[in-house]
Amino acid sequence: MTRPTGQGAADVAREIAPDVFCLGPWGRTQTVVYFVRSGSSWVLIDAGWASDLSQIERAAGALFGADSRPAAILLTHCHPDHAGSARQLALAWGCAVYMHPDELPLATADFAAMVASAGPLDRFLILPLMRVMGRRRREAVLARSSLGDVARVFEPGAGVPGLPGWEWVPTPGHTPGHVSYFRPGDRVLITGDALVTLQVNSWAGLLLQRPGLSGPPWYTTWSPRAARESIGRLARLEPTVLAGGHGRPMTGAGTAEALSAYARSSADQ
């Protein structure tokens, strides 16, 4: 049987820039997570779906040793395809899960926050279903996806936990507290869903897993306008490596130019 491209390689993380390792893309959503080494320690950036737990643990063990524990788990945002395994990994590794303060209400599965940051899919499908459930059942369902007491927020002015030499860049739009992670020294950029390298906004692109720059999936995006502004902000960073939350990272000459051309065209929309 032939496997779809990328699926077979998903157990081994590959180095896409010094000390930056990419695991994925894998599965129907072409999910990608990143391991970043810093001196003798490391962090995980984004944590896939809940079902990706053992795959991420195996890859971490292969990279850093079976008993190695990260300094932190960092999230770009708190959707189930990025934070799905975060709580279980944090408990197994004894570390915290960091995010932007504006993302915390989503991380703690607050129903009012879900309503306030809802994208079209939430508004037309998920939220009505959750309302029908009634409060008690809804709270039980939400509690299962909550990061609870492992969730932490960035300290103002304190930089990225566990990653000296990196910055977090506010990239709201997909969610209110979405951030990207940037290493100015060599302009490596990890963008979560603020910018992806898979055509998630066309059915054909998604079904055929076509590569290509894209803004966040519109059906799960809170503010399309803020998302477009965030793409402009990312383009101005002129990245040499562009590593999103879905699809194969872009590297090499031409990355910054491709992004600025894309940002110009999406600003016109």
105 vs 247 by CB, closer to Zn ion: 247
Which span sits near Zn ion by CB under 5 A: 19-27, 138-146, 175-183, 192-200? Answer: 192-200
Which span sits near Zn ion by CB under 5 A: 68-76, 101-109, 230-238, 241-249? Answer: 241-249
CB of 12 to Zn ion, least distance (A): 22
Phi and psi at residue 55, to the nearest 5°: -65, -40
Q: Distance between CA 255 and CA 101 in Å, rounded? A: 30
CB of 31 to Zn ion, least distance (A): 7
* β-strand partners of 102: none
81 vs 103 by CB, closer to Zn ion: 81
46 binds Zn ion (CB under 5 A): no
122 binds Zn ion (CB under 5 A): no
Alpha helix locations (H) across 45-134?
53-64, 86-93, 104-107, 111-116, 120-121, 127-133
CB of 51 to Zn ion, least distance (A): 14
Give the residue, chosen from 81, 102, 103, 122, that forms a contact with Zn ion under the rule CB under 5 A.
81
SS3 183: strand
**For the stretch 254-266, what's the b/e string if a residue is b when 16 or more beta carbons lie within 10 angstroms of its beta carbon?**
ebbebbbebbeeb
Q: Distance between CA 250 and CA 240 in Å, rounded? A: 8
261, two tokens: 């051309």
Q: Distance between CA 241 and CA 137 in Å, rounded? A: 44
Give the residue, chosen from 52, 102, 122, 193, that forms a contact with Zn ion under the rule CB under 5 A.
193
Q: How many residues bind Zn ion (CB under 5 A)?
A: 3
Residues that bind Zn ion (CB under 5 A): 81, 193, 245
